[in-house]
Amino acid sequence: MNLQILPLLLKETRFRWVVHLLTVCLIAFVVSLLVTQGSLNRSAEDKVNELTHKLGRGMLVVPEDTDLQQFYLMRYGAETMPEDYSDRIESSHLGKHIQVIEPRLYGNLTVQGMDVILVGRRLQFPVSSDSRHELVVIGSGLARRLGLSSGDNLVVNNHKLRVFAIVDPPPKGYDMAIFAPLKTAQRILGTPGRINALHLSGCWCELDVPALAAKVESILPGTMAITVDGMAKAQIEIKSTMEQYSVIFWIAGGVLVTASIAFLLFYLIHKGRREIGLLLSIGMSPGRIVIKNIIISVATAVAGALAGYILSIPLMSQAGRMFMRVSLSPSAQVLPWLVAVITGAALLASFIPSWYISRLDPTKLLREE
């Protein structure tokens, strides 16, 4: 008897993959928005605390396309700005407020199979009698790894360098760094006349620092000026916006998830009435049919939740870049709560219709088209 009903069962399930896929996609979209909303404020706050701690009381000016998270992780991109921006800001009306203007060019290199950070800055060394080698300073970690001492030679990107001194201990994070004059770094990286950072500092206690940053950006087109106050202000604005719409987001998301699962079950039950009738007629208990539909609903909901969490990763990254120019990541703490809520919604949406249809007369179900 089972062999006789197999073709019918297969025929009745053809449409289900599309329905399941659409339901999973809808749930994934809703969950991705909920995860993004729930994670954005916490991730933004953590990232602000991290960046402002590193930034201190100064101002950092970088090209506007710079990913600050990658920048502070010492992974530098190809974004640069003109070297003369330092002279432009010094000669502007803001120059009287800025005591230190330090242009820098950062880059990532591979030297003898090791990852090295190149820091180009305004350094002055004694005039060397050997014009074939340019003088640099290196971190103690790099010196140990390469077995170098003061006065030794080093070749980097076909440029001949000589170690003038070894920094021990080096600044935090620069154990594997080469500190070179700005012009030398530009030649090594192939970016003549370019920099990718301006470090500014001054006595700004009585100034409107965010306004000062905006003026710096207007004087230096294509840049963004990052300050502690600016980062904190961005975080406060994000937090306020997220709190304002938090309840609406979660209520709407819960309704959409529950409705999508309910729609899936009603659609499957409507299309599968004959299948249910067949299963009942061959002796399957109503309870097993209810459990079967609940498992389908919960599996669909969980699949949608996981897919939504994965989808929230690029959404979070885009939101972070849009608001703060850093890449943010979704909080893993949100996922268990969402899975629990969505599982509850799946149970609620699947139990009642499944229980109702499993109590109908099998012969009536088999007669319906």
For 277-316, write each residue's pLDDT tens digit. 676 677 777 777 778 777 877 887 788 888 888 888 887 7
CB 174 within 8 A of CB 119: yes
In what side-by-side order are the strands of the sheet with 59-63?
153-156, 159-167, 134-139, 177-181, 114-121, 100-111, 197-201, 59-63, 223-226
Tens of pLDDT, residue by residue over 163-221, are 999 998 888 889 999 999 999 999 999 999 999 999 887 765 555 667 788 899 999 99
pLDDT level of residue 346 (50, 70, 90 thresholds)? confident
**Tell me, what amino acid is at 73?**
L
Q: Nearest CA to 60 among 218, 230, 191?
A: 230
Report the C-alpha gap between 229 and 189 in whole angstroms.
33
> What pLDDT shows up at residue 56?
44
pTM of the model: 0.53
The pLDDT > 70 percentage for the chain reads: 65
What amino acid is encoded at 368 in this protein? E
Confidence tier at 143 by pLDDT (50, 70, 90)? very high
Within 13 Å, how many C-alpha atoms sit on residue 14's CB side?
5
Cβ proximity of 121 and 131 under 8 Å: no
Q: Which of 35, 114, 107 is nearest to 75 (CA)?
A: 107
Q: Where are the domains of the chain?
A: 2-49+234-367, 59-226
Mean pLDDT of the chain: 77
| Residue 368, pLDDT above cutoff 60 | no
Q: What is the mean pLDDT of residues 112-136?
A: 85
Strand bridging mode 177-181 / 114-121: parallel
How much helix, strand and coil, in percent to the nearest 5, is found in the chain?
Answer: 60, 15, 25
Residue 50 has pLDDT above 90, yes or no: no
DSSP annotation of 99 reads S
pLDDT in tens, 85-106: 999 999 998 888 788 899 999 9
